[in-house]
Amino acid sequence: MALIEFAQITKHYPGSATPAVADLNLAIEAGEFITLLGPSGSGKTTTLMMLAGFEQPSSGQIRLDGQPIQSLPPHRRDMGVVFQSYSLFPHMSVAQNVAFPLSVRKVDEATQRTRGAAALDKVRLGHLAERKPQQLSGGQQQRVALARALVFEPRVVLMDEPLSALDKKLREEMQLEIRRLHRELGVTMVFVTHDQGEAMTLSDRVAVFNQGRIEQLAAPRALYDHPANAFVASFIGDNNSVAGRLDADGRLQLAGGHSIAARNAQALNPGDAAQICVRPERLHLAPATDAAGPASDRNLLRATVLDAIHQGDHWRVVTRLDGLDATWFAKLAPRELAAFGRTPETGQAVALGFAPDDAWLFAA
């Protein structure tokens, strides 16, 4: 039995014509790190707030260890919560902030001190116990908030975009810190973010939300390599796409005379409108004359270079497909660009090559 179960959960807000969450079914295993990922308004935070007890579902049931918990107030659900804002008490020391959940639960002061110190040690802040929150950096304050969520040893820790206020370097450091704590403690963690890189770094599984529903639930690599639909393909990682129509041979025919073979063409029928998705790191550059040559085991699309941008470990080459209002870009490692022969110039005619196995088709 899963530790947490959402069974046919729907949430309506007054005045809204569409539900914030619709017919949600989701099982979360004990010890799992699961991320609810999606754009703003997709239902991910509402789902977390219903689990925490700060929102009530309009219908359906949420179960913990098989028992319904809708009637339980938040403080009786055995869940620690870390919010986007740190919500630390400015008049209290770090140690007092961390011990606060224990004092609310009437734990004796000696135990508060012992467990508070242990929680701070877990987040490597024991040496700052007597400081006030305003004397800490943003990353340190977020560590204090995490220690406070862990101090009463909850079965589940819920995190609502806890790293969004941090700069890039601190955010990446905290991602590694949270990943370490999850591995060491084995506590179940449910994390909400709109940042797909964050979800890929932290999660055992990711639930991709869109318009109140889960589009796909899978491990990060599976989401990236095997997206269920065009929304997931575009939301997880970078993606190039263009629409066309499938011919009798299972090839996607595009305006401008382009023809593309894809790995899953058999899932659609001849005549179907379809959208193709290709990751930019799967593209390579070839001379424009290659696209006019005989058919091969790779796809070759005629394109014109719009820009070539050096981004440290790779080049981003931006192109426009000939005869189409579609901009595609390739991520090329220096050795791949060297194989092309030179840095592409604006206005240069090229061919974009990729293997059929690197192209996904979805019904348009």
CATH number at residue 325: 2.40.50.100
What CATH number does residue 128 fall under?
3.40.50.300
The radius of gyration of the chain's CA atoms, rounded to the nearest angstrom, is 25
Q: According to the model, what pLDDT value does residue 266 have?
A: 84
| Helix (H), strand (E) counts: the chain | 9, 20
Q: Domain boundary residue among 230, 251, 267?
A: 230
E strand map for the chain: 4-11, 21-28, 33-37, 59-64, 67-68, 79-82, 156-160, 188-193, 205-210, 213-218, 240-246, 252-253, 259-260, 273-278, 284-287, 299-310, 315-321, 327-332, 349-354, 359-363
Residue among 213, 266, 265, 285 nearest 25 (CA): 213
Q: According to the model, what pLDDT value does residue 289 have?
A: 87
Q: Are residues 65 and 191 in the same domain?
A: yes
What total of structural domains would you count in the chain?
A: 2
Q: Are residues 215 and 253 in the same domain?
A: no
- Cα first-last separation, the chain: 38
Residue 116 carries which DSSP code? Answer: H
Give one word for 349, left, alpha or beta, with left for phi > 0 and alpha for psi -120 to 50. Answer: beta
Banded pLDDT at 78 (limits 50, 70, 90): very high
Q: Are residues 245 and 152 in the same domain?
A: no
Q: According to the model, what pLDDT value does residue 294 have?
A: 55
Mean pLDDT of 159-180: 90
Q: Are residues 162 and 203 in the same domain?
A: yes
Banded pLDDT at 335 (limits 50, 70, 90): confident
Q: Are residues 134 and 165 in the same domain?
A: yes
Q: Are residues 100 and 210 in the same domain?
A: yes
Averaged pLDDT score across all residues of the chain:
93
The percentage of the chain sitting over the pLDDT mark of 90, rounded to a whole number, equals 82
Banded pLDDT at 292 (limits 50, 70, 90): low
Domain span at residue 250 reads 239-363
Mean pLDDT of 117-128: 94
* CB-based contacts of 44, cutoff 8 Å, min separation 6: 36, 37, 38, 192, 194, 207, 209
Mean pLDDT of 58-82: 95
What are the backbone dihedrals phi and psi of residue 240, each rounded to the nearest 5 degrees, phi first?
A: -110, 140
Q: Are residues 161 and 193 in the same domain?
A: yes
Q: Are residues 201 and 281 in the same domain?
A: no
How far apart CA 30 and CA 188 sit, in angstroms, is 6
On the CB side of 254, how many CA atoms lie within 13 Å of its CA? 21
pLDDT in tens, 9-68: 999 999 999 999 999 999 999 999 999 999 999 999 999 999 999 999 999 999 999 999
Mean pLDDT of 74-100: 92
Q: Are residues 254 and 215 in the same domain?
A: no
Q: Domain boundary residue among 211, 230, 249?
A: 230
Q: Domain boundary residue among 206, 230, 254?
A: 230
Q: Are residues 84 and 190 in the same domain?
A: yes
Where do we find the tokens 């969004």?
A: 164
Q: Are residues 129 and 267 in the same domain?
A: no
Banded pLDDT at 164 (limits 50, 70, 90): confident
Q: According to the model, what pLDDT value does residue 152 have?
A: 93
Q: Are residues 309 and 264 in the same domain?
A: yes
Q: What is the pTM of this model?
A: 0.90
Mean pLDDT of 232-259: 92
Token code pair at residue 261: 């073979």
Mean pLDDT of 182-189: 95
Mean pLDDT of 123-128: 94
pLDDT at 295 over 80: no
